[in-house]
A and B are shown apart, each in its own frame.
Chain A
Amino acid sequence: MRRFALIAVPYLWLLVLFLVPFVIVLKISLSDVALARPPYMPQLDLSTGWEGLKAFFAELDFENFTFLTTDDLYWKAYLSSLKIAAISTLLTLAVGYPIAYGMARAAPEWRPTLLMLVILPFWTSFLIRVYSWMGILSTEGVLNTVLLKIGIISEPLMIMNTPTAVYIGIVYTYLPFMVLPIYSALEKMDESLIEAAEDLGCSKLAAFWLVTWPLSKNGIVAGSFLVFIPALGEFVIPSLLGGSGTLMIGKVLWEEFFNNRDWPVASAVAVILLLILIVPIVLFQRNEQKAREAEG
């Protein structure tokens, strides 16, 4: 009996507050907009019994999804989200790998401190970390002021409100997600393997490419998914740094919902985003499982 309660409480909580809401999103994505509260129809009216249920299902249709294909704003937003997420994942890898490598090769007594220095920004507000770049990248920002004073540029750079600013924002805020899994893969690595490769005639670079890189692969894959998946649905970074020129699907969903108050279309946007995300999420979980099996 106690065992039943132990399982039932968290189970029911997640069913009601996580799974059921998705069913509702799916249902509303098949509904029509209405000038009512809530602003969609049909409403399920259980008091009319079976007939009401049949009428309810008869009124559901794929109209919102057809609408998404006719207006090229939406598929452009999906494509540009995919592109931005992919490029920023690669950039985060390029920035994060050397940091993780440096940490893993630092003296063991330094490692806990370095680890804490990487985690610390993760505990500080995400919103504030994005905001800190607004003061740096804007036309009268710190970066332009410094570069103009040194004389590297004669005209202020327009970085704010461009995709470049979004890339910088994503790399900056998601960097710990990339560094930590790569670090934990590199830290476990046996350094004598590199020495062996060098003794056998490898150059430093070849030893890195043939030994270190493959051994850190699980960390690279895990980190890349941890950056790519949330970046795809990102809302805060494109709205603060990207301006009106950057199209990302998280922002489109937000505006569809809050500005246009078109709940059915917002729901349809969410359903498709979820469908796109299923592939990377499944791949990510497979990678995690593989890593766990390799360890155990």
Chain B
Amino acid sequence: MRRFSWFNATSLTLGFAFLYLPMILLVIYSFNESRLVTVWAGFSTKWYGELFRDQEFLDAAWVTVKVAVFSSTLATILGTMAAYVLVRAGRFLGRTLFSGMIYAPLVMPEVITGLSLLLLFIGIGLDRGVFTIVLAHTTFSMCYVSVVVSSRLSSFDRSLEEAALDLGCSAFEAFRLVTLPIIAPAVISGWLLAFTLSLDDLVIASFTTGPSATTLPIKIFSAVRLGVSPQINALSTILIAIVTIGVITTSIITKRASQAQARDEQAAIRAED
């Protein structure tokens, strides 16, 4: 029996309207000729033009992308290692502390993480800039990566790895040839998650950066604090578009991959018969 009542339909409609209307309004008003949000003065792309002429925004965007690429790659390597340790390494000295340090950053308020990292960097006399933001972002996003990867690691059959070891693979070869291809989707989504978290972070970046490196969120925050500014609408629209295209593309790719996998499995079952 289908239980899709009017109640469910209304709650979904209202819920999704609540989630999407603010962003749709932002996109609409990014094409507004007028500086004011509420006065529609005709269609215009002038705020996009102003955005691309603003060197500070372009510099900040470049710093942000650089930081995100470096930190998410580093976080993926460290996070995958940590996940492997959590799921496969068994007992070792300080295991509880280790798993605590993996899960704690996920719930730590950003102001505390940012403050503590800044005090560390100052304590050891590290010059703040792109390098220190990369260190900070790597630290918190490696924990997200390891949670994503470890759930995939713990759900797949360990005997596959053991078979590879029995057939003469070294531990590293077994990881590279058997484990890694199986956990690859989790590793990739871990990287994407780390990348987005880094692009998005304002608070930790504000604490750990120096005057030489301003990221896009820091720039947006200082512009927005002064009031609503149309360039930010244009920038937001661009970012929303990138994310939407990215998420839809990945979901189509994964859907195709899982369909292909289902096809292969069915073919294998038929071949067995």
Contacts and interface: CB of A to CB of B under 8 A. Distances in A.
A75 interface: no
Nearest to A2: B171
Contacts of A201: none
A230 B203 CA distance: 13
Sorting the interface of chain A by its residue count into under 10, 10 to 19, 20 to 34 or 35 or more gives 35 or more
A21 B105 CA distance: 12
Contact of B19 (A118, A134, A229): A118
A14 interface: yes
Contact of B29 (A101, A135, A277): A135
A252 B227 CA distance: 21
Given A14-B98, A230-B109, A273-B109, A25 B15 contact: no
B217 interface: yes
A234 B203 CA distance: 10
A7 B92 contact: yes
A273 to B, nearest CB: 6
B2 interface: yes
B236 A274 contact: no
A174 to B, nearest CB: 12
Interface stretch (B119-127, B159-167, B178-186, B264-272): B119-127
B142 A263 contact: no
Interface stretch (A48-56, A58-66, A103-111): A103-111
B15 A95 contact: yes
Interface in B74-111: 78-79, 81-82, 84-85, 89, 92, 94, 97-98, 101-105, 107, 109-111
B120 A20 contact: yes
A34 to B, nearest CB: 13
Classify the secondary structure of A's interface with B.
helix
A74 interface: no
B243 interface: yes
Interface string B1-34: 1111101110110111011101101100100000
Contacts of B120: 17, 20-21, 24
B18 A124 contact: no
Contact of A128 (B14, B111, B220, B244): B220
Contacts of A214: none
A242 interface: no
Given A120-B247, A123-B247, A145-B38, A13 B111 contact: no
B119 A25 contact: yes
Contact of B3 (A105, A118, A281): A105
Interface string A114-126: 1011111101111
Contacts of B112: 25, 233, 253, 270, 273-274
A22 B104 CA distance: 12
A132 B217 CA distance: 14
B199 interface: yes
A270 B119 CA distance: 12
Interface in B225-251: 225, 228, 232-233, 236, 239-240, 243-244, 246-247, 251
Contacts of A21: 116-117, 119-120
B224 interface: yes
A46 interface: no
B114 to A, nearest CB: 9
Contact of A235 (B101, B111, B240): B111
Contacts of B225: 239-240
B22 A132 contact: yes
A247 interface: no
Lowest 6 CB-CB distances: which A-B pairs, in order? A233-B109, A21-B116, A98-B11, A99-B15, A132-B22, A10-B82
Given A10-B98, A267-B119, 6 more contacts: A14-B102, A99-B16, A106-B4, A106-B8, A120-B244, A131-B224
